[in-house]
Chain A
Amino acid sequence: MNKILNTLMLSCHKATELIEKKTVFSLSPAEKVQLYLHTRVCDACRNYQKQSELLDVVLEQELKALHEENISEDRNTDDQRIIRLKGKLDTEKFS
């Protein structure tokens, strides 16, 4: 019985790895079952999973918002950037 449990049960290291893998790739059916079983019995990994999902939401929102802000603030410097770009091409022309 213990042997069966051991092959079915993931370590916490493995379980948290699968939690992250799941956010960018799909899990195999076996991995899904393993992760489900592990998080049912392991409080720490269940907490980890909830927190990881929360951080994903916050990070995506914050990183995107940060960029929107910077982009709109950046409008003023657009003209200067165009001047720099043209200048860069000037040096290129003769090289």
Chain B
Amino acid sequence: MNDQKTDKRKLLDSWIVEYANQLHAWAFRRTGNQIIAEDLVQDTFVAAFHALNSFEGKNPKAWLFSILKHKIMDHFRQKYKMQYVDAGNQQEDFLGQFFDKHQSWNVVQKPGDWSAHEEELLDNEQFRQILFYCMDHLPEQWSVAMKLKYLQEKKGPAICEDLGISQANFWQILHRAKLQLRACIEQNWFAA
């Protein structure tokens, strides 16, 4: 029994040395957070350790990545659901800032003309700082949705399926996030 455990452990250690960094880089690319990525990779190896008997394949790398994929989606699902209640309650008020009762733009929130500045924005350091400042001030669920959109190499329908949410839910969140982000940038960059 003990020998068996030691063998399992030796095998796992060799996988850690060989694959942990690739798994970590991959998890980080999808979550944008080093600590979360490390936790997810740990969870992956713990799960692999306990499920080792069911591993029959010849390809440990693919197996570990498939466990990690599930861990990442669980993480997003949890984060997304957790924030949903709050975001839902603020829904009416939130949209009311931008649109009047006829659903037209409120005068103060009407998008202005950026065209004189558009070119220079692409590599302007100050603009980048404002962009990240504004990203940081989005409700967490919204920035999760945005990260999923930009960092997942998946199409919208596949993301929704993974998260177990409706497509309408996903693009409505993206809509709110973009409204707020755009307004925040206009206030801090163009109005300044």
Contacts and interface: CB of A to CB of B under 8 A. Distances in A.
Interface residues of A, number: 43
A88 B45 contact: yes
B93 interface: no
A63 interface: yes
B113 A47 contact: yes
B49 interface: yes
Interface in B139-192: 146-147, 149-151, 155-157, 159, 167, 170-172, 174-175, 178-179, 181-182, 185
Given A24-B149, A58-B121, A86 B174 contact: no
A25 B172 CA distance: 12
A67 B105 contact: no
Contacts, number: 136
Give the secondary structure class of A's interface. helix
A59 B185 CA distance: 13
A82 interface: yes
Interface in B96-151: 98-99, 102-105, 110-115, 118, 121-122, 128, 131-132, 135, 146-147, 149-151
B136 to A, nearest CB: 12
Nearest to A72: B25
A11 B146 CA distance: 24
Contacts of B113: 47
B35 to A, nearest CB: 11
Interface stretch (B10-18, B55-63, B65-73, B80-88): B10-18
A54 interface: yes
Place the interface of chain B in its size category: 35 or more
A12 B103 contact: yes
Interface in A2-43: 11-14, 16-17, 20-21, 23-25
15 contacts: A11-B104, A13-B98, A24-B155, A24-B171, A47-B111, A48-B111, A56-B150, A58-B121, A63-B32, A66-B32, A67-B29, A70-B28, A86-B13, A89-B12, A92-B49
Interface of A: 11-14, 16-17, 20-21, 23-25, 44-45, 47-48, 50-52, 54-60, 62-64, 66-67, 70-71, 74, 78, 81-82, 84-86, 88-89, 92-93
Interface of B: 5, 9, 12-13, 16-17, 20-21, 24-25, 28-29, 32, 34, 38, 41-42, 45-46, 49-50, 95, 98-99, 102-105, 110-115, 118, 121-122, 128, 131-132, 135, 146-147, 149-151, 155-157, 159, 167, 170-172, 174-175, 178-179, 181-182, 185
